[in-house]
Structure 1
Amino acid sequence: MNLSRSEGKRKLPSLSLVRWLVVLIGFIVFVIVSFVLYVRSADSDYRNGETKATRIALDSGGLAKVTDAVIHTWDETVWVVTGTDSEGQAWMIWERKTELVKRKVSENMSEKQITAKFALEHGGAAPIRTIPGWFENQPVWEIRYWNEKDHLHQSIDFYSFQDGTKLRTFVLSSK
């Protein structure tokens, strides 16, 4: 079987530099879009919970405006929503499975007050994070910080939301 002259001289098409750049840019766009979609899907349960907690605080909790919503898991998982009512008073609402617990911020320990109390008790140490939570069937402040002794372990202190009394300290294992 003989090849014709035209078949023997055919060259395989090669990709020019422009075509390589188009393919490379297309691949990079594909990877970026895939990553964004993955992050959105991984974060969707949290965002749906936050939206639901905000809606409950606005509808059933008596808030006119929500400024923050955080999830806290210890004894049980609760959403803590911070906001203001129609009169401009600041409130915090703990959304438990069985009830809503609503507390006026001005009549309890604020985040600034509890952080100042913590700093006094721990020689001016700054906490890693301070969040409202639920511990031993009551609203609390959870403060996470580096252990002063060795700075290798973190500890968590729970303070009463109402009067700022320290309820318990947990030292976290480094393993």
Structure 2
Amino acid sequence: MNLSRSESFRRMPRISWLRWIIVIFGFIVFLLVSLALYIRSADSDYRHEERRAVAIAKQQGELTDIDSADLHTWQEKVWIVTGDDAQGETWMIWERQSELLKLKVSENVSKTRMINKFAESHAGEQPNRILPGWFQGAPAWEIRYWSETGNHHEAIDFYSFKDGTKLKTYELPTQRS
């Protein structure tokens, strides 16, 4: 049985270039939105904890202007919030599970003073990272650096926040490729 003449001349509908461009553009927008939502949800727990730490610093620590909020994890998880009070004094607040510790930066070792002290004791070495932290039950500065002396390695020094004395050095194993 033969098809009718009109059926034999029918073509399959074709998608025009304009429609292909619209479909591809729509797919790319879908991928970008999906990626943005994934990234936002992946870091939402961290951002929630950070907002909570800032809120506690403002309410209980009486800070009016927040400069930074850093999470330090070594022996325990501690949020350190730096900011100014109503009088313009700069404070650091260590938020632990069991307590809240508030110290005036001007009465302790500031980040700038700690960098200068590190430069004096480690000639020619530059810190990769300096963070306020919590070490051996007290506020501390954590300085990570690359040591060029002896066998080249990465190291972490802990210094007391109150007077800048060196507490401990950890030498990290080098990774060979």
Q: Which residue of 2 aligns with 1:4?
A: 4
Distance 2:82 2:103 in 1: 10
**Percent pairwise identity:** 55
Give TM-score scaled by structure 1 length: 0.96
Q: Which structure 2 residues correspond to residues 22-171 of structure 1 after superposition, within 5 A? A: 22-149=22-149, 153-171=153-171
Q: Using the alignment, how far apart are the partners of 2:69 and 2:3 within structure 1?
A: 75
1:120 to 1:42, Cα distance in 2 relative to 1, 3 A: same
CA distance in 2, matches of 1:160, 1:148: 24
Q: Which runs of 5+ in 2 are unaligned?
A: none
Query: Is the Cα contact below 8 Å between 2:133 and 2:141 reproduced in 1?
Result: yes
SS at match of 2:62: coil
Aligned-partner residue type, residue 115 of structure 1: I
Deviation at 1:173, TM superposition (A): 1.9
Q: d(CA) in 1 for partners of 2:124 and 2:95?
A: 33
Mean CA deviation greater in 9-18 or 133-142: 9-18
Q: Deviation at 1:151?
A: 7.8
> How far did 1:157 drift?
0.4
The one-letter amino acid paired with 2:103 is R
What is the CA RMSD across the aligned residues, in angstroms?
Answer: 1.3
Q: Deviations over 1:83-113 (max 9, x none)?
A: 0111000000000000001100000000000
- Measured against aligned partners, the alpha-carbon deviations of 1:133-162 in whole angstroms (never above 9, x if no partner) come to 000000000001112236853111000000
Q: 1:35 to 1:151 in 2, by over 3 A?
A: farther
Q: TM-score, normalised by structure 2?
A: 0.94
Matched positions, count: 175
Verify the 8 A CA contact 2:125 2:147 in the aligned structure 1.
no
Shift of 1:62: 1.4
Contact kept, 8 Å, 2:147 with 2:154, in 1: the verdict is yes
Q: Distance in 1 between matches of 2:111 and 2:151?
A: 24
Match for 2:83: what amino acid?
G
Structure 2 CA distance, aligned partners of 1:150 and 1:54? Answer: 42
Cα offset, 1:9, TM superposition: 1.2
Residue 44 of structure 1 and its aligned partner are, at CA, apart by: 0.4
Structure 1, unpaired ranges of 5+: none
Q: Hey, what's the Cα distance between the residues in 2 that align with 1:129 and 1:6?
A: 77
